[in-house]
Amino acid sequence: MLTRKKGMAAMSMLTVIAMALAGCGGGEAKPANSPAPSSAAPSPSEPASPSAAESGGASGGIDWEARKAANQAAGEILYSTGYYFAASSPDVQAVMADELGYFEQLGLSVRVQPGLDSQGMKFLAAGQAQISSAGNPSLVITSVDSGAEVKGVATFGSVGVNALMVLEDSDIHTPKDLIGKTLGYKGAIPSWVTTMLASEGVTRDQFKAVSVGYDPRILDGKKLDALTVYKTNEPYIMEKAGIKTRLIDPGDFGAETSFGVVAVNAQFAAEHPTAIEDFLRALSKAHQYALEHPEETLKVLEARSTSGYDLESETNRWAVERELVQDNLHEGHGVAWQSDEQWQREMDMLVNAEVIKGPIPLDKVMDNSYIEAIYEGAELIWPE
C-alpha cells in the first residue's frame, strides 16, 4: 500500500460543474500576462548541470551521481497541476512520481501544488513555479504571445481530447450540418471549432453560437443542437443520465489538437537542464505504473484531495485518457514525446482564428531536447 505524502489542498468534484471544469486540454484558456522571471544565475559554487549528451547519453554512460548533485543544486521545484487532482496527464504522472519516490531517487526535490493550468502559466511566467501542467499547446502559445517566457517540453496526448457532442439521433454528422443550428460552448469559441467548421466552408454567420454552463444535459436537440465537450468528461455524465450521444471528432476535419503538456519556466530549464530531463524521466516511469495499477493510482489522487473527490468519474477520465495516450504514441518514441507538427497545427489554428497576432517561431514555444534526452528510441533510460 502506498503511504507517502497524502495531504495538500484539494478540490470538490461532487457537482456536475466541477466535473465539467476538470476536463483536461481545454479550449482557449486565458494566457499568462506576467513578465518572465529574472532569476539570478547559478552561483559559481553550484555544480554544472550535465546534459544527457555530456554524461554519455546511453543508459550505461550517464553519471547518475553527477546528475543527482546538479538536480539537488536546482533547489525545490514547484509543480502546479492543471485542475487540482483530476485524473489527467501530466498530473497523474507527477503525483505518482512523487508518491513512488521517483523524484527523490533522481535527486529532485519536487512540491506538487494543486491548481489550474491557467494559473500555472502565470506562476511560471512570474518565476513562482518551475514546471506546470498545461491543457494543450495552445495555452503555452497564447501565454508566449502575451509575453511569458515559458515552453512546452513534453506532450502526453498526441491527439485531441476535445469534441462536438450531439444527441445520438441528431441529423448533425459533419460541420456543414451545423448550418442553421445552435452550438453551445463554454467561455469562448475554441479555435479548433473555427477550424473544423472552416474545413467545410461553414462561416460564423451560418450558425448560432451561445455561451452555456457546465451541465451537458442542456443538450436537448431543441434549444441546443451541439455542444463543445471533452471526450473524458461530458459523454460519461450523459451516459450516467441515460442520454445517448455521439461525438464528432475535430481531428477528422483538420482540427486535431493535443493534450497533457508539461510546461516550464524557460530560464529555469536553460539553467537546470538535468532537472527538467529527470522530472520528465520520473513522469515517464510513473506513467507506466499508472497504466498497470489504475485503481491504486486513483486512490492516491483521491487521498490527496481533502474536500471531496468523485472517484467514479475520475476513474472514467483516466480510462479514456490513457487509451487516447497509448493508442496514439509516436512510432519509435516514448510517451510524452512531441512533434513540431503537433505544435505547428495549433499555432496555425490560433492564427487563423485571430486568437494570436501572428505565428511564433516554434523554438520560442516548445523544446523537444529534454524529452529526447531521456529515451533510447522508445525505451526509457533509468538508473540501474
pTM of the model: 0.86
Residues 6+ apart with CB under 8 A from 205: none
Specify whether 265 is located in the same domain as 349.
yes
How far apart are the C-alpha atoms of 257 and 252, rounded to whole Å?
11
Specify whether 155 is located in the same domain as 200.
no
Specify whether 263 is located in the same domain as 363.
yes
Q: Whose CA is closest to 224, among 281, 182, 178, 172?
A: 182
CATH code, 266: 3.40.190.10
Instruction: Specify the number of domains making up the chain.
Output: 2
**Residue listed under C-alpha cell 512570474:** 126
3-class DSSP state of 203: coil
Residue 138 resides in a domain: yes
Who wins on pLDDT, 88 or 307?
88
How far apart are the C-alpha atoms of 53 and 58, rounded to whole Å?
8
Specify whether 24 is located in the same domain as 106.
yes
Residue 25 resides in a domain: yes
Grid cell listed for 3: 503511504
Specify whether 205 is located in the same domain as 114.
no
Lowest-pLDDT choice from 52-66, 89-103, 182-196, 285-299: 52-66
Q: Which range of residues forms the domain containing residue 187?
A: 162-253
Specify whether 141 is located in the same domain as 169.
no
Q: What is the mean pLDDT of residues 275-292?
A: 99
**Residue listed under C-alpha cell 529555469:** 268
Lowest-pLDDT choice from 24-33, 136-145, 168-177, 362-371: 24-33
Specify whether 154 is located in the same domain as 278.
yes
Specify whether 133 is located in the same domain as 275.
yes
Q: What is the mean pLDDT of residues 302-308?
A: 91
pLDDT in tens, 237-261: 999 999 999 999 999 999 999 999 9
Q: Give 26's pLDDT tier (boundaries 50, 70, 90).
A: very low
Q: Whose CA is closest to 163, among 190, 200, 203?
A: 190
State which of 190, 221, 253 marks the end of a domain. Answer: 253
State which of 197, 227, 253 marks the end of a domain. Answer: 253
Residue 249 resides in a domain: yes
Lowest-pLDDT choice from 37-51, 99-113, 148-162, 305-319: 37-51
Specify whether 24 is located in the same domain as 124.
yes
pLDDT at 50: 52
Q: What is the mean pLDDT of residues 15-30?
A: 41
Residue 268 resides in a domain: yes
State which of 253, 283, 305 marks the end of a domain. Answer: 253
Residue 141 has pLDDT above 70, yes or no: yes
Torsions phi, psi for 182 (to 5 deg): -115, 125
pLDDT at 36: 36
Residue 7 resides in a domain: no
Q: Give 307's pLDDT tier (boundaries 50, 70, 90).
A: confident
Residue 369 resides in a domain: yes
pLDDT at 222: 87
Q: What is the mean pLDDT of residues 267-292?
A: 99
pLDDT at 306: 81
Peptide bond into 90 cis (omega under 30): yes
Specify whether 290 is located in the same domain as 301.
yes
Q: Whose CA is closest to 266, among 348, 147, 375?
A: 147
How far apart are the C-alpha atoms of 345 and 329, rounded to whole Å?
17
Instruction: Count CA within 13 A, CB hemisphere, residue 293.
Output: 16
pLDDT in tens, 46-98: 444 454 444 333 455 899 999 999 999 999 999 999 999 999 999 999 999 99
How far apart are the C-alpha atoms of 365 and 151, rounded to whole Å?
5
3-class DSSP state of 312: helix
pLDDT at 166: 98
pLDDT at 220: 84
